[in-house]
Structure 1
Amino acid sequence: MRELVEAQRASFMEALPEPLSVRKDRLKRAAAMIADHAGRFCDALSEDFGHRSREQTMMTDIAGSIAPIKHALKNLERWAKPEKRGVQFPLGLLGAKAWIEFQPKGVVGVIAPWNFPVNLVMSPLAGIFAAGNRAIVKTSEYTPVTAALFEEIVGRYFDATELAFVSGGPEVGKAFAELPFDHLIFTGATGIGRHILHAAADNLTPVTLELGGKSPVIVGKGADIAQTTERVALGKMLNAGQICLAPDYMLVPSAQEAEVVAGLKAAASAMYPTLLNNPDYTSLVNDRHHQRLNDWLDDARAKGATVETVNPSNDDFAGSNSRKMPLHIVRDVTDDMTLMQEEIFGPVLPVRRYDGIDDAIAQVNRRDRPLGLYYFGPDEDERRRVLDRTISGGVTLDDVIFHVSMEELPFGGVGPSGMGAYHGLEGFRTFSHAKSVYKQAKRDVAKLAGLKPPYGDATRKSIARQLKM
């Protein structure tokens, strides 16, 4: 891996400056690599998960990978233009100029997760290639078939000095994070993110962390309950809840709890009338993940929670070796339950009551700052209060998750849910070095400003002007 970094950096330095034509060509090749093998990627992901909806993969991992690349191609020339900046009076009048040039950083490391193992490789690559960098990707050991496919096909589209893939378990991941990259982006769990940050520290590698957290849904005053519950159920059951932005728990007015639970059941049953043999519904990625969720449900029951399983066709999950898991709605949850302390990452949805919007806000704020926050309701004052009084990576109003697919919006967390942002213009700038350039005027500015010894009246007048408010 270290030899790969060295080879990429040598090639990068030799090629500087990276023309926009080369960057565009890499973006087009990246899109072709996914589009040409879309069917194989669908098969690989389904094999890795035990079953994964083909249509879902086409939406989230194939089309969802092409979209940011197309966006970068469309906007690259605008993003890459030098940015003019002002200079202090009277330097501008004397002919001085200042601007920012956006240079590629060099070699970027990408540590990708297992839940969207194509999209969360290609989406960062859109910004990395647009900015003119090279990249090495560490794929997840939990999706080995998908990882092997990337390694098989990448050489048909890219030289190893442009893009390379490596695979392996935690030891490989640790060694990867310790490499002297010019930037490192990690997508995954908060706990692992801490280790990544420590590993990168010795090289002073700048790091972007895309983590997770407990993203809340607040059902506000006057919310359309049928629409709200359908949209929450759709977001929660997509990829069987294995999404960093999945709604993690719901906060509902006390008087509407029963209506919300009924709405969730109806919406889930309408979208997934069966589960075990339903090709639209995805499995949990592995046995450990499946067992973890069931252990957390047992913990909640033992501590007084009521768990309602949405299984409209009465599928026999106990008698099946499938890792498919129905939606579990958990009521009467308390803060001492594990599922209210950890990110759930599966089809388990706690529903909590609140009395007044300030109570809901307080429930959100006593936890770590989440990656996403979702508010439903037409009341503008209440909506404004939620936006002003909570801090989260991003917000979707009257739906869930959708802000991540808006290419013009930066995507990232805050605090334990992440560090830094990418997508669109912010992605280009994350993977670029903003180099300041100042061009001095022809006049002897130092003498005019009293900066040149021997110091005298001009110096004192210059200091006085600067001190004056």
Structure 2
Amino acid sequence: MTTSELVYTSLDVIDTKMAVSKEFYFSRQKELSDAKNIAKTDLQFRLKQLKRLYNAVKKNEASLIRAMEKDYHRAPQESLQLELIPLYNDILHMIDCLPKWIKAKRVGDYSPAYMLGSVYVEKIARGSVLVVSPCNFPVLLALTPVANAIAAGNSVILKPSELTPATAREMQRIIEETVFPHGLLQVVQGAIPETTQLIRSPTFDMIFYTGSPKVGSIVAQEAGKNLTPCVLELGGKSPAFLTKNFDIRNRSKLHTAMKRLFFGAFSNAGQICVTPDYLVIHESIYDEVIREAKIVLNEMYPEFSNATDYTHMIGDRGYNVLTNLLEKTQGETYTPTAAAGFKSDTQDGKYCIPPTLVFDCPWDDPLMMEENFGPVLPFYKYSDLDETLDQIIARVDQPLVQYLFSDSAHERQKILTRLRSGDCLIGDTIIHVGIQESPFGGIGTSGYGNYGGQYGYDAFVHERTVFKQPFWMDFMLFMRYAPYTEAKRALVQVATEQRAWFDEDGNDYWYHNRLLYFFSFIGVALGALFAAYRS
């Protein structure tokens, strides 16, 4: 199939690409096994591919920004600060840290059966992996997991979103013009039929999907038929809290809080999986917060038109859904003064919704039902925090993230204890996704698995235990072999069974469990020597 911007990959070619991806992985592993220094050769290969990817994207920065602007009027600064710079930083972090991540980790076990052997955990590539990326961050959320997969030693097939066709086409051009080894990184273009063929294939050793919970559920079901592991980065209706313990007497602090909330709510026109989806505000500060919110919104958007440097909705579907919800809301809508009377020029394919605050939304409001995924921020006034948490838990028990604006550590901990979420930010919004040394991911319906820094690398590897037991140890382990005797059973119990370090009431004994293991080891050694002497 062909759209005005994108040529879809035929189903026959998809089969060929999957076969090439799998063959590349096995061929490279065979070639690698013949190397004089396998570890060094493998590391150098992976680093070289990451550097190629970095240079290719950096070289084509301007064309990628233009493509995103063409797809959905993406503000160029947002493409740079929210998409490309984080991608550059991610890849450079991988290049810098890969020599450390790739090393096997030695571990120990204090049991006499293992303590004199060699135990280490190595991280091996999964094989051929599939990355299915979304439309809202069409470069970052495509190429960051691709880079993670390459860093981990896999071959990759990327399926970009068809909803941002200019960007998908540009990424394919960049990848195909970069001198990657044949089969390492390939692109498949398409929509539902092409994606279905990919996720149903037993070829892949892992699937990394970013998108909606509805489609994520389908991906998981299809992958489960082949026992293919998945990482699902999904969405969720993420709440923001402005509690009674947030000091609004500090006007500058309240002003900054509003700017941070609106940065998260309206960047990329609110089309961010971690955007604050609604704001719950304690009744004692509600009116003051609304007054400040109006001031800040007009400061941030002093001018507004179809030509404003402001990101539009990605296509007509999301635009129509959200405008319909705004027509049905029970709340009071407020847009920047400059946007008064604004109407998007949909005839020319411009699907623009101004940043919109909706005051006094009840729980049963249409805007409070599902993730809005657009530049709309409902305000809900609450009186009792526990009752509010009860309502949130009853609706969306596992949001992707929660945002807390409270000066009370106890209150923050109360919310964190009651409300499960993938992540949490205190005093800011959305920027946590760029932290290199912490995991980003959902919980339950907002996804499973995570990535970011080493966590992204670990998502694409299998941790394999390698244990080497010296043969001379058998004089201490003879009791495991048949024929079994009472003496052997007693030795097995002394040597291998851990002893509880607490009594029936749960009170700890004065000695440490490892001390018991030491004496167990001595006992086994003496028993073995005695048995050897008797024989």
TM-score bracket, shorter-length normalisation: over 0.9
Query: Residues 319 and 88 of structure 1: is their aligned pair in 2 closer, same or farther, counting only changes over 3 Å?
Result: closer
Residue in 1 that maps onto 2:64:
41
Measured against aligned partners, the alpha-carbon deviations of 1:239-266 in whole angstroms (never above 9, x if no partner) come to 0100000000111101222222222222
Answering whether residue 246 of structure 2 is matched by residue 222 of structure 1, we say yes
Name the stretch that deviates more: 401-410 or 352-361. 352-361
**Match in the other structure for 1:353:** 381
Change in 2 beyond 3 A, CA 1:228/1:359: farther
Distance 1:176 1:87 in 2: 42
Instruction: Check the 8 A contact 2:199/2:222 in 1, yes or no.
Output: yes
Counterpart residue identity of residue 219, structure 2:
I
Q: Does 1:235 align with 2:285?
A: no
Instruction: Compute the RMSD of aligned alpha carbons.
Output: 1.8
Q: Would you say 1:425 and 2:454 are equivalent positions?
A: yes
1:98-153 per-residue CA deviation (whole Å, 9 max, x = no partner) reads: 11001111111010000000000111122111111111111111111111112222
Aligned position for 2:286: 257
C-alpha separation in 2, matches of 1:319 and 1:81: 54
Q: Which moved more, 1:384-393 or 1:186-195?
A: 384-393
Q: Determine the structure 2 residue equivalent to 1:105.
A: 126
| In structure 2, C-alpha distance between the alignment counterparts of 1:319 and 1:65, rounded to whole Å | 31
- CA change 1:446–1:263 in 2 (3 A) is farther
Q: Name the CA distance, whole Å, in 2 between partners of 1:443 and 1:432.
A: 34
Is the Cα–Cα contact under 8 Å of residues 87 and 97 in structure 1 kept in the other structure?
no
Structure 2 residue 298 is the aligned partner of structure 1 residue 273? no
Alignment of structure 1 residues 393-412 onto 2, 5 Å? 393-412=422-441
Segments of structure 2 that go 5 or more residues without pairing to the other structure are 1-13, 33-40, 248-252, 501-535
Distance verdict in 2 for CA 1:379–1:462, change over 3 Å = same
Distance 1:298 1:206, change over 3 A: same
Which TM-score applies when normalising by structure 2? 0.83
Q: Deviations over 1:32-52 (max 9, x none)?
A: 121111111111111111x11
Q: Is the 8 A contact 2:306 2:345 kept in 1?
A: no
Distance of 1:149 and 1:405 partners within structure 2: 24
Separation (CA, whole Å) in 2 of partners of 1:363 and 1:29: 50
Bigger mean CA deviation after superposition, 313-322 or 285-294: 313-322
Alignment match of 1:334 (pick from 362, 378, 381): 362
1:169-209 deviations in Å (ceiling 9; x for gaps): 11111112112211101100111111111121222110000
Q: Is the 8 A contact 2:124 2:462 kept in 1?
A: yes
Could you tell me how far 1:348 is from its partner in structure 2?
A: 1.0
C-alpha spacing 1:468/1:457, structure 2 compared with 1 (3 Å): farther
The separation in 2 between residues aligned to 1:319 and 1:100, in whole angstroms, is 57
- Residue 24 of structure 2 is aligned with which of 3, 7, 11? 11
Q: What one-letter code is carried by the residue in structure 2 that aligns with 1:414?
A: I
Q: How big is the shift at 1:444?
A: 4.6
Which range is displaced more, 446-455 or 101-110? 446-455
Partner of 2:95: 73
Counterpart in the other structure of 1:370: 399
On the 8 A contact 2:422/2:443 being kept in 1, the answer is yes
Amino acid at match of 1:440: Q
Larger radius of gyration: 2
**Unaligned ranges ≥5, structure 1:** none
Which of 293, 305, 313 is the matching residue for 2:338?
313
- After superposition, what is the alpha-carbon deviation per residue over 1:45-75, rounded to whole angstroms, capped at 9, x for unaligned? 11111x1111111112211211110111111
Partner Cα separation in structure 2 for residue 464 and residue 87 of structure 1? 17
2:205 maps to which residue?
A: 182
Normalization by structure 1: what TM-score?
0.94
On the 8 A contact 2:113/2:477 being kept in 1, the answer is no
Count of aligned positions = 463
